[in-house]
Structure 1
Amino acid sequence: MTPMLEQYLRVKGEHPGALLLYRMGDFYEMFFEDAETAARELQITLTSRNPGAEAPVPMCGVPHHAVEGYIAQLLEKGFKVAVCDQIEDPKLAKGLVKRAVTRVLTPGTAVEEGNLRAKEHNFLAALFFDADERAGGLAWVDFSTGEWSGLFSRDAARLWQWTVKIGPRELLLPDGLEPPKDFPKEGVQISRFPPRPHFDFAGGRDKVLKAQAVADLAALDLGDKPQLVRAMGALLTYLAATQMRELGHLSPFRPVNLGRTMLLDEVTEKNLEIFRRLDGGKGVGTLWHVLDKTMTPMGGRLLESRLRQPWLDLGPILETQAAVASLAADEGRRTGLREALAGVYDLERLTTRIFLNRAAPRDFTALRQSLGALPRLRELASADDQAPKAFVELLADFDALEDAFALLSRALVDSPPLAVTEGGLFRPGYHPELDELLELTEHGEARIEALLQEEREACNLPRLKLGYNRVFGYYFELSKSAGSPPGHFERRQTLANCERYVTPALKDLEERLLSAADKRKTLEYNLFLDLRTQVAGLRDRIMGTAARVARLDVWQGLAEAAVIGEWTRPELRQDLGITIRAGRHPVIEAAQGIGNYIPNDISVDDAARLLLITGPNMAGKSTVLRQTALIAILAQIGSFVPATQAVIGLVDRVFCRVGASDNLARGQSTFMVEMMETARILRQAGKRSLVILDEIGRGTATFDGLALAWAVVEDLAGREGGQGVRTLFATHYHELTALEGRLPGLRNFNIAVKEWKGDIIFLRRLLPGPADRSYGVEVARLAGVPRNVVKRARELLETLERSRDPGKEAGRGGRERGQPVLPGLMAPAPAETDAPVADPGRPLLDELSRLELDRMTPLEALTLLCDWKNRFGGHAAQGD
């Protein structure tokens, strides 16, 4: 065991949960199990430090100048990485060079560009819940920007919902706290710690007060939220342990105010495909892909936050609308903004890296280019003579940071090297001493030749020569026949035919030449640190300007999306009505083209609070449901919407339950997932909610599903003192259409289709009234089901429908409109599946013959009698 390996193992023992990158010269090396893991994950060569030994030590390494790329790969795979650097100059070290871990990198604390997605937050979160107090807190921080927030709740389920919603890359939990079974652990690294010291209240309180520079928790609205303070303290404790420095770049803590924003839980975000498609993919097929026209990473992250938490107050919505309208109407101004914003890099993350001393020289030139665009942005933002209020507030004290731009322009060259230690960072004229050293290193030989020429002319020694060797360095050589040397020449060596001399000027110039390269690099490094300190001191100003640039970017991006999609400005109201004329689904329309999408009208008011929508498969019921929810969400972030007119009564929550999915890994069937999501809606939906439900009950037996769907409709229609919750309910259970007139505020609608020459044509139009059939067999035929199967299905369908509904007109493929059979009024099914088809001329006798009286309850018998009277009363009176 060498001293070096002993040092390695001692440092490794201090960070057992991390891969240790150990600096040795120009490489970061890994040994033992870390080497085997890294070689496998990074696909690099695994060697051995002592290959000839009886027990060779596995080893692998990566070049120090390329280490960030390898670290990024390890973080993406969920590893923690401890970086062990040399903390003393190897030239001055006596014995083994001192080394220490300077930082621990984790997925949730990354700040380097290669470890981050530009337009996405990178959250580290901590969750604490006190079962005795029945209260908890969730705190999260984006360490790369300093933004942090949190949520206090007495509902543990809500805290876990928000955890899924924000999608942290790393989650800190106290020992003993287990996530719920349906918590998706994919993509999040969970770290557990003892309640003390990480989740200790007293320690957390002190850390929070210090980090926020306040004297009392009440100043942060945390006086009555000790559980949230514990979660915040866990974050700060973890960051201090991994970053090993003061956390002075954190922004003011801003807890989530649930009363000021629309709530979109993670299930709704998923079902509406806001950020990801139902298959989990990003990009095409999501609302984000259609809406995001921002040009900067800050603007993209702000738009993401807006979409996750739309406003509930009219004030910011209307201000944003006005700003978007102003830019949508001025193409030249909008185009100019987009061109100027294209030159702006990530101001927030750049200044964070600079503040944390994790910046490379090119981060400074990226910052310089970004600051150079600010005056143009200010000019374009102020170009409107009748600027909306949002622009006036944006321009008030707009800091274009001209002084910072001038400093960086004067200091740095256009294309600095990748590493600080390579030199060549600064422009000539930035620092006098550096200019002298640059002159020496780049023109040293010329300076010596000039000194030689001066001596020749001053001493009249035309045959004086200049030489160099490793023993004496630079020297003047004079032949013995040339005469006596000048008095300031100092003899160094006598040869047969000549003498070699040095002069004070030559020795001084040589000394400066030999040390100039090292001095230049040292001076440039110190000047770089000084520049970093100056720029880091501007962090608050840069962050303030970055926030304004992000808002401006969001406005122009929403305006650009509105112009491209031919969207219109919605009207927002405090009432509960929703009126949409010629509404479209933004994602489907973007895929199909504006001219190929058939728009639809939706109206929700006191007379029609619950819209029951029937129609065939593939007709577009789900599309109409989702586009209504998306239009409401877009309206409440201040965006224009895909419709010719939209009047939206403010929505505080959107619930969306569509599609079929299971979670077999957690023991949850499709129907279980459906019922869990439905249960959440029924428990949490309120007066201002917008509920989108599609095909409730289809995952179980027909009567079970119908009964559940019926009960859900009744519950939603009867909420809020009989006023009901705003609901769009799509179903294939045509029996439910009979509820119109029985439940207040329920109205039937259908997605129209047309039969033509044996085929069905989907008209994609939402019309009043119920659908008369589902056309499931026809859709199966369109899907390519074999012809013999389709033919047999038609025969069976006709038999089944005649058996269940003898009053059905012969030859029709579904019940007559207005004649649904309702639960409790439905005759029992035949005992034998091969029973003969009922005789249309004797329906009552046929039904009587199939009754099983011993299985009927008195209530079922009574309701059946009522049904017979309604259906056959007229015939009996005529003696039929």
Structure 2
Amino acid sequence: MYEQYLRIKEDYPDTILFYRMGDFYELFFHDAEIAAKELQLALTSRHKGEFVPMCGIPWHAADAYFSQMVEKGYKVAICDQVEDPKTAKGLVKREVTKILTAGTVIDDANLESKLHTFLGAAFWQENAGAFAWLDVSTGAWTGVQVSKESELWQWVYKVDPKELLVASGMEIPELVKINGAVQLVYLNAASHFDLKRSEKRILDVQKVQELSALGLERKPALVRVCGAIVAYLEQTQKYVPSYLSAFEPLDMGKFMVIDEVTERNLEIFRRYDGKKGIGTLWHELDFCQTPMGGRLLEERLRYPYKDIARILVHQDVVSHFFDNPKKLQALRGFLGKIYDLERLSTRISVNRFLPKDFLALRDSLAFLSDIFNVLRQEDGALPTDKSLTFENVPEGLGRLLKKWDSCADIHTLLSESLLDVVPQQITEGMLFKAGYHAELDELIDIMEHGESRLQALLAHEQEKSDLPKLKMGYNRVFGYYFELSRAQQQPVPDYFERRQSLVNAERFVTPELKELESKLISASEKRNELEYRLFQELRVKIAEERPRLLFMAGLIAQIDYWQALAECARKKEWTKPVLDEGNDIEIKDGRHPVVEAVIGKSHFIPNDLIVNEKKRLLLITGPNMAGKSTVLRQSALICMLAQMGAFVPAAFAKIGIVDRIFSRVGASDNISQGQSTFMVEMMETARILRQATKKSFVILDEIGRGTSTFDGLALAWAVMEELLKRANGQVRTLFATHYHELTALENKFSGIFNMNIAIKEWNNDIVFLRKLIPGPADKSYGIEVARLAGVPAHVVHRAKELLVLLEENKEKSEKRVERVLLPGVADFENSEDKTNAFHKERETVANTAELVENALKENPILKELAEINLNTLTPLDCMRLLFEWKEKL
């Protein structure tokens, strides 16, 4: 046994080998030590002499242990008995039947139901490279071919595969190596990434004659990575992955580009701390009722649409559900009963299923007709079959309904064949209903009515042989027998065969009794064997229907996506945006969807935003904590949501189509690569300046803050100038900064417009009004923010003293900066235009402050509050006043 174990282990040195022995999976040597530690198992030894570490797990509970090992980053090789121990001569033959890895698992225990789990492959050689990714659990895969190595790794960061296949010797960025979430798998380049071998593998698996059928012509690097994925699946899963969907390269011309930096900055899937769930956009949008719908939502969040016609088709269906709340709620009820059709059909196709998967599929298909009926309802009533023109539903929904397949034949087959309760394993029998198969019915009848058959045979023999005192008995040695006492001894028929003589009785058997006994003894085993064969035949029939099941899974996912957006819009009171091909963006009472959900709608201050020809770059100033970053992010998210076909958190929104969202917000560094916060900031800024187009939307926060004041100011200034030059000044930009000197550029460059987040000073304190208003901020309020953050009072006091000293030289410093940074201005002090602009700017600030002050004074509640004598109020009076003020508001 040890020789067999070590021989198998030699072929799979990088795995933890689970070796099947009877009803257990055993582990030996170093694998046993690892498993015992990771799974909290008792470590023992098989021999009393030399210590050979050993531990094991029960076969029936193995999946849970496998899942734990995969989650901890190990590869698990499952070695099963591949011949019947009853017929085996000598040691039972064993082979590795599958290898479980982080990127190839298909069991629900290892997967997040509403998110994809990807197996990726990357390749780079000379001036070409490619990256492909596959969700093994669904069979859906795609990829991109790139001309720059930096783009290759950007795609890897964005898709974030669980496993990444690379050729041995390929240079891997340190950031990928240290990312614990991605397991690197080095493969032999000649065997896995060879172009000719890869081409053959792809054509065989996809069952096509030419690569052009898959969009892979003239994409050699992409062919290599696809071939590597197929080879790796064959190697680890021990089957040819013919179930894979047709490969289709990702066409980014159809989608808005959201790179990995922007995805992180906008906290779409993960918060800044790397955690999922509350605090992410995905969490706030996820009203999906099915796993397929959840994964489609994830896909759209990564790739919103760019084509306005397609966006409007989706938007119309979302509006339809939004306007029909009864239909929406009925639809949500039925969708909530649908299991994961994609992953169920995959497990059935690759023969890695459990009996319960068939019941889940059966129960899901039962509701397809109900969903169809809800979707085609008109004013709460079903149309007649003759009127099924779907003219009263949106175009996108109508096209879907015309292709509907309720899969009634598959549901009928499963309903008529399987019991409502089935065992955990296929080998345990008790799977099929009576009436499904004649031979099985006989075996079931024998098992269920064996005792009555024995009694019927006894009664028959008593009557036939005239032996009324004949009895029947059983023991383990002789089995079933007829017994006749000596006191009642009578002649017995010739076919009675004496089996045993006792002092007081004689025991006999008959050919009919022996035949019935044989049937009873073997019925259970025969039933299990027959049911196993019938179940495999049923699996083949269902596997052949995978294309239909996947098609309906896609339709259900699309419906679930639409209803989720509609439900989100109703729950959160979002509005339908207007989209056009222009370059303007207009948002009224815009809100941040995540921040609003966290703090509550009543506490969130909405803001207006207009980006047009005269206001192409909005320069936003204001102190920290005032809400600049929130305004930047919410504007980008509103554009993104609009192009998903969703409603948006605003009273009104008009969005000119965006081809790409660029962001540079927040602070982060890559210590492992020697990249400081400022280096990361400059790298992200460089990408924006090189790639932004007139259809892009750019949000920048605090450019240059990671270096000295004048270095940072100069860089921020230069970045603004470059953005104004790109695409003839058409790049739409929100630029938040602390450098007040930049506000002077409003009068120098067309397209710049100053705005600030309003602050109110009150009794030596500051109040963040969170309101975006025209004009520049008058000062930074940094010291006040430091005080609010809890900086010791004596430090704050000293900072104020130093600020007074520094501000004495402020005017001289501003003049020097203007002379240096404003080309063609020799003396700012003598420049009449600049002086006028300076005073105009101050007037704007003063006027804005006055407007805010007047607005506060005119509020009747504030007037009443100013006149109240707090010393004379009782607690009851306070409650009454609060109630009255709330009623007035």
TM superposition score normalised by structure 2: 0.90
Aligned pairs for 1:123-162 within 5 A: 123-131=118-126, 134-162=127-155
* Structure 1 CA distance for aligned equivalents of residues 51 and 617 of structure 2: 74
Amino acid at match of 1:322: D
Question: What are the Cα deviations for residues 88-139 of structure 1, in whole angstroms up to 9, with x where unaligned?
Answer: 00011111000011111111100011011111111101111111xx111111
Aligned pairs for 1:365-384 within 5 A: 365-384=359-378
Q: In structure 1, which of residues 160, 171, 192 is the aligned counterpart of residue 164 of structure 2?
A: 171
1:233–1:871 CA distance, 2 compared to 1 (3 A): closer
Kept after mapping to 2: 8 A contact 1:141/1:149: yes
Kept after mapping to 2: 8 A contact 1:735/1:821: no
Which residue number in structure 1 is paired with residue 686 of structure 2? 679
* Structure 1 CA distance for aligned equivalents of residues 89 and 39 of structure 2: 35
1:484–1:235 CA distance, 2 compared to 1 (3 A): same
Which residue number in structure 2 is paired with residue 30 of structure 1? 27
1:181–1:746 CA distance, 2 compared to 1 (3 A): farther
Distance apart, 1:821 and its partner CA: 4.4
Amino acid at match of 1:445: E
Which residue number in structure 1 is paired with residue 594 of structure 2? 587
Aligned pairs for 1:73-472 within 5 A: 73-131=68-126, 134-183=127-176, 185-384=179-378, 386-472=392-478
Which residue number in structure 1 is paired with residue 887 of structure 2? none
Distance apart, 1:501 and its partner CA: 2.0
Q: Which moved more, 1:376-385 or 1:387-396?
A: 376-385
Question: What are the Cα deviations for residues 724-775 of structure 1, in whole angstroms up to 9, with x where unaligned?
Answer: 4110000000000000121221111111111122221111111111111111
Kept after mapping to 1: 8 A contact 2:815/2:828: no
Q: In structure 1, which of residues 727, 744, 752 is the aligned counterpart of residue 750 of structure 2?
A: 744
Kept after mapping to 1: 8 A contact 2:589/2:651: yes
1:740–1:515 CA distance, 2 compared to 1 (3 A): same
Distance apart, 1:35 and its partner CA: 0.8
1:215–1:576 CA distance, 2 compared to 1 (3 A): same
Which residue number in structure 2 is paired with residue 694 of structure 1? 701
* Structure 2 CA distance for aligned equivalents of residues 182 and 106 of structure 1: 22
1:532–1:869 CA distance, 2 compared to 1 (3 A): closer
Aligned pairs for 1:859-878 within 5 A: 865-867=827-829
Amino acid at match of 1:104: I
Kept after mapping to 2: 8 A contact 1:569/1:640: yes
Distance apart, 1:569 and its partner CA: 0.7
Q: In structure 1, which of residues 7, 11, 30 is the aligned counterpart of residue 8 of structure 2?
A: 11
Secondary structure of 2:143's partner? strand
Question: What are the Cα deviations for residues 679-698 of structure 1, in whole angstroms up to 9, with x where unaligned?
Answer: 11111111211100000111
* Structure 1 CA distance for aligned equivalents of residues 75 and 776 of structure 2: 59
Aligned pairs for 1:697-776 within 5 A: 697-721=704-728, 723-776=729-782
Which residue number in structure 2 is paired with residue 478 of structure 1? 484
Which residue number in structure 2 is paired with residue 557 of structure 1? 564
Question: What are the Cα deviations for residues 759-816 of structure 1, in whole angstroms up to 9, with x where unaligned?
Answer: 2111111111111111111111212222222121111111101123259xxxxxxxxx
* Structure 1 CA distance for aligned equivalents of residues 733 and 42 of structure 2: 60
Question: What are the Cα deviations for residues 496-542 of structure 1, in whole angstroms up to 9, with x where unaligned?
Answer: 54432222211110110111111111111112111111111111110
Distance apart, 1:199 and its partner CA: 0.5
Distance apart, 1:619 and its partner CA: 1.0
Amino acid at match of 1:383: Q
Distance apart, 1:485 and its partner CA: 1.1
Amino acid at match of 2:543: A
Matched, 1:668 2:675: yes
* Structure 2 CA distance for aligned equivalents of residues 516 and 208 of structure 1: 47
Kept after mapping to 2: 8 A contact 1:139/1:232: yes
Matched, 1:534 2:528: no
Which residue number in structure 1 is paired with residue 388 of structure 2? none
TM superposition score normalised by structure 1: 0.91
* Structure 2 CA distance for aligned equivalents of residues 823 and 129 of structure 1: 47
* Structure 2 CA distance for aligned equivalents of residues 872 and 612 of structure 1: 19
Question: What are the Cα deviations for residues 240-278 of structure 1, in whole angstroms up to 9, with x where unaligned?
Answer: 111111211100101010111011111100000011111
Q: In structure 2, which of residues 801, 809, 817 is the aligned counterpart of residue 795 of structure 1?
A: 801
Secondary structure of 1:108's partner? coil
Which stretches in structure 2 are left out of the alignment for 5+ residues?
A: 379-390, 837-889
* Structure 1 CA distance for aligned equivalents of residues 95 and 243 of structure 2: 24
Which stretches in structure 1 are left out of the alignment for 5+ residues?
A: 808-819, 828-858, 875-880
1:425–1:869 CA distance, 2 compared to 1 (3 A): closer
Distance apart, 1:824 and its partner CA: 5.0
1:90–1:714 CA distance, 2 compared to 1 (3 A): same
Q: Which moved more, 1:433-442 or 1:194-203?
A: 433-442
Kept after mapping to 1: 8 A contact 2:695/2:730: no
Distance apart, 1:32 and its partner CA: 0.8
Secondary structure of 1:379's partner? helix
Percent of counterpart pairs with the same letter?
55
Amino acid at match of 2:427: T
Aligned length: 822
Higher helix share: 2
* Structure 1 CA distance for aligned equivalents of residues 509 and 229 of structure 2: 66
- Please tell me the root mean square deviation across aligned C-alpha atoms, in Å: 1.9
Secondary structure of 1:259's partner? helix
* Structure 2 CA distance for aligned equivalents of residues 871 and 397 of structure 1: 68
Question: What are the Cα deviations for residues 556-575 of structure 1, in whole angstroms up to 9, with x where unaligned?
Answer: 00000000111111111111
* Structure 1 CA distance for aligned equivalents of residues 345 and 816 of structure 2: 66
1:93–1:27 CA distance, 2 compared to 1 (3 A): same
Question: What are the Cα deviations for residues 446-474 of structure 1, in whole angstroms up to 9, with x where unaligned?
Answer: 22122111211222211111122344322
Distance apart, 1:865 and its partner CA: 4.3
